[in-house]
Chains A and B, each alone.
Chain A
């Protein structure tokens, strides 16, 4: 997994609440291998491109100032719906490494953490203010710093965010989570023996 420490980049505002992962990447692209050629075009495909493949000028990432944004500042419940991790893969393929929102879909939130994309939860009024600044100053940059757990807004204000210690550590080091867990093998084996003895109906074969 790619580590995440600190990022300064152009941020794009996404004002709509409840942006679902079907919108982030439509189902018909889920058969495309992660990272295959053109993967970044699947991101927000049906709201980003018209039927003839031309860009829809009203979509935020098609506007010159926000093009190539590496941070999204979204609204409530961004990434709700389907568990498709391809939503995160498409964001990463485009270059997005941080999503800031008042809340995120629970599974999407986990998927971000497993891929080195920093999910930042801030109060709803703070996030609304950030989006307001990005609208007022298109192309403005934000800084997300995982070491200090702060987001620095275009106006210079620093906002502290909370993140679970475990997730923070994994992101900072970019550690392979499976390798970490395999270090718990003795505990897993002990548990397995006790569990099967206490609840023999759990065995299937």
Chain B
């Protein structure tokens, strides 16, 4: 799916293919919440 990765530097070095991620829901307004992802802490 198309999404954004948050919680880390927005650089090619920090954003690696196949890096472990976890969902980070981002509320946009009362009706819409987008599923973003952040580096997994597990």
Whether chains A and B associate is: no
Q: Which positions in A face B, CB cutoff 8 Å?
A: none
